[in-house]
Every structure is written in structure tokens, then in C-alpha cells.
């Protein structure tokens, strides 16, 4: 069985889209794969309740618990790796996971770690992507699913979705339009990866 671990920090809407697709499309039978755990960096993440309602095991590795360590980021990432590795994942999916991961963490999951970013990379890496797109006068925006590397939001692109930027758009209205596409493209991208893994055996 190919285990998928999803990491969240907030609402978990992309996590839910992936988990629902896995159930609806029977990834267990089709790909011998399952979403086996949802891990949050925040104990108050709304996505934890959503995951529970979907019947998924949840866990919290709170980044604030490591604030007094000599290297808080490294200590957090080490604890997170231990939690993830208990599931022997074929794929680790970042779904609104709001932590910058250390190079050691990224290297540990090289080729197995993917993310969705709310811009058409390489444009607008980092935060505040929608307002930056509006301020730049972009006529189109979108989202990108990519492999994660040590360079923030610069990994190999797997797929992209494009939406128009309307004259009346605010950052919130554009974000909502992009998020709708993320909910469609991210599960599809995960399914395509699982399909390629199946063919490799």
C-alpha cells in the first residue's frame, strides 16, 4: 500500500479535496494508495476537524513547542520527519502547510514531496501572491503544483491552472477563484503521480 501523508496548517480545504477524490475515485483499488494521516503544525487548524470527519487519523506537531531549542526550525523538522516516517509514505503532500522547510527535510523526502502554490510560478513565489498579481497588472493568475526543493517555490512544475484577473478583483476574490482551481488540479496531480508509481512496478 502506498501511503500518502498530508501536512496542513489551516483550513485544510486542499487536504479535503484530495481525501475526497481518493474516496470517490477509489485510489485504494486503482493505485493501491490511501491517505493515511493528516499532520498539522498548529493545534487549532480547522483542517483537523475536517480530517476527522473524513475518517482520517490526525496528529499535531506544534512548531511552537520547539521555540526554546538552539535551532527551532531544525528541531521542528526533525520531530515532523519522525511523525511522517511512522507511516512510511510514498508521497508527502503540503496542503496549506505554512512552514519553510529545512534543506535536510526536503532532501529526506526528495522526489516524494509536493506542494501547491497560489501563483503561476515562477511568478510571485512567497506570500501575498494575489495582491502582488493585481498590483503588477496581470491579466491572468493561477496556481502551480510543483515538487518541493530547498529553494522556496522553485521546484519542478508538475501542472498549472490559469484564471483571469478581472478589473474589479480584490485579493480575496482572486484567491477564491484560484482556490477553486486548486481543489480540482491538486487531486488530479496526486492521482497522476500515483499512476506513474504504479507503472514503475
Q: What does 39-87 look like in DSSP terms, one character per residue?
A: EES-TT-HHHHHHHHTT--EEE--GGGGTTSSSHHHHHHHHHHHHHHTT
Q: What is the pLDDT of residue 161?
A: 98
- 63, 41 Cβ separation under 8 angstroms: yes
Total count of residues recorded for the chain:
201
pLDDT score of 121 more than 90: yes
Q: Are strands 89-94 and 2-8 parallel, antiparallel or unpaired?
A: parallel
Q: What is the pLDDT of residue 192?
A: 96
Q: Name residues whose C-beta falls within 8 Å of residue 166's C-beta, 6 or more positions apart in sequence.
A: 173, 174
* Helix, strand or coil, per DSSP, at residue 3: strand
The candidate with the shortest Cα–Cα distance to 153, out of 114, 190, 182, 95, is 114
Taking the C-alpha atoms of residue 41 and residue 76, their distance in angstroms, rounded to an integer, is 9
pLDDT score of 200 more than 60: no
Worst-scoring range by mean pLDDT, 87-96, 147-156, 161-170? 147-156
Q: What is the pLDDT of residue 47?
A: 98
For residue 191, the surrounding DSSP H or E stretch is: helix 171-199
Taking the C-alpha atoms of residue 94 and residue 115, their distance in angstroms, rounded to an integer, is 5
Taking the C-alpha atoms of residue 199 and residue 36, their distance in angstroms, rounded to an integer, is 22
Where residue 197 falls among pLDDT bands split at 50, 70, 90? confident
* Residues 112-123, mean pLDDT to the nearest whole number: 97
pLDDT score of 89 more than 90: yes
Residues that are catalytic: 117
- 57, 38 Cβ separation under 8 angstroms: yes
Q: Are strands 33-40 and 113-117 parallel, antiparallel or unpaired?
A: unpaired
Its pTM stands at 0.96
Q: Is the dihedral of CA 17, 151, 83, 197 positive or negative?
A: positive
Q: What is the pLDDT of residue 199?
A: 65
pLDDT score of 12 more than 70: yes
The values of phi and psi at residue 90, to 5°, are -85, -25
Residue bearing cell 477563484: 177
* Residues 104-125, mean pLDDT to the nearest whole number: 97
The rounded mean pLDDT for the chain is 96
Q: What is the pLDDT of residue 201?
A: 47
For residue 7, the surrounding DSSP H or E stretch is: strand 2-8
* Residues 32-37, mean pLDDT to the nearest whole number: 97
Q: What is the pLDDT of residue 85?
A: 98
Architecture per CATH, domain 2-199, reads as: 3-Layer(aba) Sandwich (3.40)
Structural domain spans, the chain: 2-199
Amino acid at each position: 500500500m502506498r501511503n500518502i501523508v498530508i501536512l496542513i496548517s489551516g483550513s485544510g480545504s486542499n487536504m479535503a479535496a484530495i481525501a475526497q477524490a481518493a474516496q470517490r475515485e477509489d485510489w485504494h483499488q486503482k493505485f493501491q494508495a490511501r491517505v493515511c494521516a493528516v499532520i498539522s503544525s498548529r493545534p487549532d487548524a480547522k483542517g483537523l476537524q475536517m480530517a476527522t470527519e473524513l475518517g482520517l487519523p490526525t496528529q499535531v506537531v506544534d512548531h511552537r513547542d520547539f521555540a526554546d531549542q538552539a535551532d527551532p526550525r531544525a528541531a521542528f523538522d526533525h520531530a515532523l520527519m519522525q511523525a511522517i516516517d511512522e507511516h512510511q509514505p510514498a508521497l508527502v503532500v503540503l496542503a496549506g502547510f505554512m512552514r519553510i522547510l529545512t534543506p535536510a527535510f526536503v532532501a529526506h523526502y526528495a522526489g516524494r514531496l509536493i506542494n501547491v502554490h497560489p501563483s503561476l510560478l515562477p511568478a510571485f513565489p512567497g506570500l501575498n501572491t494575489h495582491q502582488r498579481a493585481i498590483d503588477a497588472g496581470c491579466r491572468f493568475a493561477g496556481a502551480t503544483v510543483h515538487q518541493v526543493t530547498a529553494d522556496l517555490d522553485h521546484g519542478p512544475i508538475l501542472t498549472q491552472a490559469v484564471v483571469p484577473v478581472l478589473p474589479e478583483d480584490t485579493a480575496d476574490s482572486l484567491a477564491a477563484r484560484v482556490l477553486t482551481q486548486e481543489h480540482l488540479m491538486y487531486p488530479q496531480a496526486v492521482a497522476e503521480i500515483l499512476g506513474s508509481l504504479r507503472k514503475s512496478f
